[in-house]
Amino acid sequence: MLSASVEVRVRYQETDKMGIVYHANYFTWFEAARIELLDLMGCPYSSLEKDGFYLPVLSCRADFLSPAHFDDRLTVRVEIKNLPLVRIEAGYEVLREEEVLVTGETTHAFVSAEGKVVRPPSDFVEKANRFAGL
């Protein structure tokens, strides 16, 4: 299974005057979980960019079930939901202990430095398959 998780501690800066985490910040945490997953796969995102591959966000969504607050310690889980990987779909859960606060999704494609959609690098596909146990 292509999955990973990171721990985040809610920063004061991430709250708003409602006293809860501003909704857009969850997408930054989703990013942190993706970066971790790429690390675990052996394809750190910074290396991909050095090789001329970018993984911009094509779409994203989130459902906010329950608010997170300042200083909460949260777990952000990501799971790649599809193989092969021409259009990558990642699903997310943000948990405070056992409680799911937020679920979400992002989709991505590999693009070149010029912004053209390209095939995923073969090294990436191989490592993804190996990590997924295929």
Span near its own copies by CB under 8 A; candidates 22-30, 93-101, 116-124, 126-134: 22-30
Per-residue binder mask for its own copies (CB under 8 A), 74-113, x = binder: ----------------------------------------
Span near its own copies by CB under 8 A; candidates 25-33, 77-85, 86-94, 117-125: 25-33
Cβ-based neighbour number of residue 91 at 10 Å? 16
In the range 41-60, which residues lie near its own copies by CB under 8 A? 44-46, 54, 56-60
Spatial separation of the C-alpha atoms in residues 18 and 123, rounded to whole Å: 46
88 and 67 in contact (C-beta within 8 Å)? no
- Does 119 bind its own copies (CB under 8 A)? Our answer is no
Q: Where are the beta strands (DSSP E) in the chain?
A: 3-9, 57-64, 73-80, 87-96, 99-109
Q: How far is the CB of 17 from its own copies (least distance, A)?
A: 4
54 and 118 in contact (C-beta within 8 Å)? no
